[in-house]
Chains A and B, each alone.
Chain A
Amino acid sequence: MKITLARKMVAYFLLVILVAVAGFAYTIYMSNKAQVSVENLKGYENPRLEKINDIAYNALGESYNIKAYLLYGTDQYLAEYRRLAEANAKLEDELVKEARTEEARVLAVNIKALNDQYSKGDEDKLIPLWQQGNKDAAMDVATKELAPLATQLIAKVNETKTSQKNEINQAMNDTDNVTKLAKEVAIISAVLAAMLGIIIGLYAAQKITAPIKALQKLMAQASKGNLLVKAAVQTQDEIGQLCESFNTMIASQLEIVKAVKNSSEELTAASQAMAASSTEVSAATTVISTKTQSVALSMEEASNSSMETSQVLIELSALIQIAKDKAVSAGLKSESSINAATEGKATVNVVMQSMNTIYNKTREAEKVITLLSEYSQQIGMINETITGIAKQTNLLALNAAIEAARAGESGRGFAVVAEEVRKLAEQSNAEASNISQLIFKITENTDSAVVAMKHSLAEVEVGVEEVNKAGKSLENILSAVAETVNDIDGIAKVTDDEVASSDKIVQLIEVVAEDIEGTSREALDVSAAIEETSAIIETVAASAEQASAMAQNLHDLISRFNVEE
């Protein structure tokens, strides 16, 4: 077990306290003894003396009352005698019981025996004799037996009283002596403890402070920067431990100062490097910040562009859908065109056939008209013949009329016939003339008809050619419309592509807009983060400068320490 300074101090104090406690314990013991003695006097010896006095008083009372009873014969005295006798018997019992010494007990027993004997003489002899009227015998008992008993009793009580008083005096003297002794012992103990305390205190102070003073000197040297000092460890107590700790502390400080010196040099270099780096980083961050802001601006422009693009896209989508709608509608119309053209082609074919028929019929008509012309010429020749006949017939009729006129009356009938024949001849001639005119007209018209026919034929040929052309045109239209239908189908198929569909285009626009908005937000976030970073780097740069200054300061501070042996 180590003897620590605290234990040493405790031991020193315990020594002083032991002396003081021994003195005080003895004083307390004495005081207690005196106290016990006083309490004994108070609670036992004095009451016992009082009891003895009471017994003496009661015995006297008994004697007086029995005498008064004998003298006056009043029962009141007898009753008082009996009360006192009973009280005395009780007191005597207590006296015997409480007796602490054999002597006291014997005295008490004697008193009780005498008193009992006296009481017995009264009760068994005197009072019965007296009550029987035997007054002489009673007086005789009183004077010869009881009076000496009473004298003995009083003498014994007085003896006991004296003995008790002596006891009390002895006890009081003892108490007085004890008290005085206790007082002296207390004073001596106090003085002794005080003196011992002073001596031990001085010794302990000397013992404790001497190494502390030595250590203090070393500390003063250390505080001036000499870290090469070393305390001599002479004890195992706290002072010794303090010296060891001081040595450890100084060694640690030496190490720390050396380390701090090295570190401060390194820190100076590092903080200068850090300051340089942070300047570079700051410059880089500024560039990044500018770029990011540029990105943010670009994103804003992109957002606007995307709005434009969205409009164009949706417009394009609408146009494509409308085009598709129109294409479908055109497809339907083209179908109608094909049908119409097909019908047209059929009609043209019919027309072609009709034209051919017309041509053939016209050719036939031409032949018929030519034949008619020939017939007209033949009729003309016949008509000339008829005209000749009519002229001859007229001449004949004229001759006949002449002849009839010559015949007179008989020829009158004939004249009428001749006249009628002449009229017929004239009529024939007129009709022939008419026929001749008709034939002329017919011939004329037939010629015209032939010319017209030839024209018609030419026209029909032209018509056939045109109809053929129309047929070919319709065929071309048909193939063109068929191609158009194909193209329209193609358009419809192309526009069937889902990209142009309403939902897709809306989704596309939404996704692009969300992407651009998201990117724009992120660019702004990045910009803010870079600004924060920039601020932090400025703080770092400032810190680096502070660190550099602190390192220099540290170096200056460290240089006052003597660390090299």
Chain B
Amino acid sequence: MKHSIKVSGNQAMIFLKDKIYVSDASLLRDDILLIIDQGITDLKMDLSGLTYIDSSGLGTLVTINKRTKEKSGRLVLTGAQGLPMDLIKRTRLDKVFNIE
């Protein structure tokens, strides 16, 4: 597991680390969509430990972002740097995501 989730009330802190490939993105998607369905929609994702992500990971982040907004929640990305941040900028998702 490249991700860990700490839930507190309707908030959740998600930590991504190392390299996120398709299979990791799939697991992340399933886990996060599950907690969103449970009503936990205020999400904060710490990307400081993340060194690689591809379009499957980014697409998963987009899905999570959309899903939280549909449920009047929000997704905040923190600590993005290096290649992940570069990829976010190249795909102009920096204009879509709430990045701190």
Residues of A within 8 A of B (CB): 306-307, 310-311, 314-319, 321-322, 324-326, 501-503, 505-506, 509-510, 513
Contact = CB atoms under 8 A, between A and B. Distances in A.
Contacts of B55: 314, 317-318, 321, 501-503, 505-506
Nearest to A306: B92
- Of the candidates B22, B54, B55, B90, the one having the most CB atoms from chain A within 10 angstroms of its own CB is B55
Nearest to B65: A311
Contacts of B23: 325
A371 B100 CA distance: 93
B25 A307 contact: no
Contacts of A510: 90-92
B25 A318 contact: yes
A311 B66 contact: yes
A322 B25 CA distance: 8
A502 B25 CA distance: 13
A314 B90 CA distance: 12
A318 B87 contact: no
B59 A310 contact: no
Interface string B86-98: 0100111101100
Contact of A509 (B54, B92, B95): B92
A492 to B, nearest CB: 12
A316 B91 CA distance: 14
Contacts of B78: none
- Of the candidates A321, A325, A326, A513, the one having the most CB atoms from chain B within 10 angstroms of its own CB is A321
Nearest to A512: B92
Contacts of B26: 322, 325-326
A314 B59 contact: yes
Contacts of A316: 59
A63 B29 CA distance: 161
A83 to B, nearest CB: 128
A506 B91 contact: yes
A304 to B, nearest CB: 9
A322 B91 contact: no
Given A314-B58, A317-B55, A502-B55, A324 B90 contact: no
A307 to B, nearest CB: 6
A307 B22 contact: no
A509 B56 contact: no
A321 B56 contact: yes
B68 to A, nearest CB: 14
B62 A318 contact: yes
Nearest to A314: B59
Nearest to B91: A509
A307 B92 contact: yes
B10 interface: no
Nearest to A324: B22
A506 B63 CA distance: 16
A506 B59 contact: no
Nearest to A321: B56
Contacts of A326: 26
Nearest to A500: B55
In the complex, the 10 A-B pairs of residues with the closest C-beta atoms, listed nearest first:
A318-B59, A502-B54, A502-B55, A321-B56, A318-B56, A322-B26, A314-B59, A315-B59, A325-B22, A317-B55
B60 to A, nearest CB: 5
Given A314-B55, A502-B55, A505-B55, 20 more contacts: A306-B92, A311-B62, A311-B96, A314-B59, A314-B91, A315-B59, A315-B66, A317-B55, A318-B57, A318-B58, A318-B62, A321-B55, A322-B22, A322-B60, A325-B22, A502-B56, A506-B87, A510-B90, A510-B91, A510-B92
B85 to A, nearest CB: 13
B53 to A, nearest CB: 9
16 contacts: A307-B95, A310-B91, A310-B92, A314-B55, A314-B62, A315-B63, A316-B59, A317-B59, A318-B55, A318-B58, A319-B63, A322-B26, A325-B23, A501-B55, A503-B55, A510-B92
B93 A314 contact: yes
B96 A317 contact: no
Interface in B69-90: 87, 90
Contact of B62 (A306, A315, A321, A501): A315
Interface string B8-52: 000000000000001101100100000000000000000000000
Contacts of A319: 59, 63
Contact of A318 (B60, B90, B95): B60
B92 A513 contact: yes
Nearest to B95: A307
A311 B58 CA distance: 9
Contacts of A314: 55, 58-59, 62, 91, 93
Contacts of A325: 22-23, 26
Nearest to B29: A322
A312 B23 CA distance: 20
Nearest to B60: A318
A308 to B, nearest CB: 9
A509 B55 CA distance: 11
A2 to B, nearest CB: 87
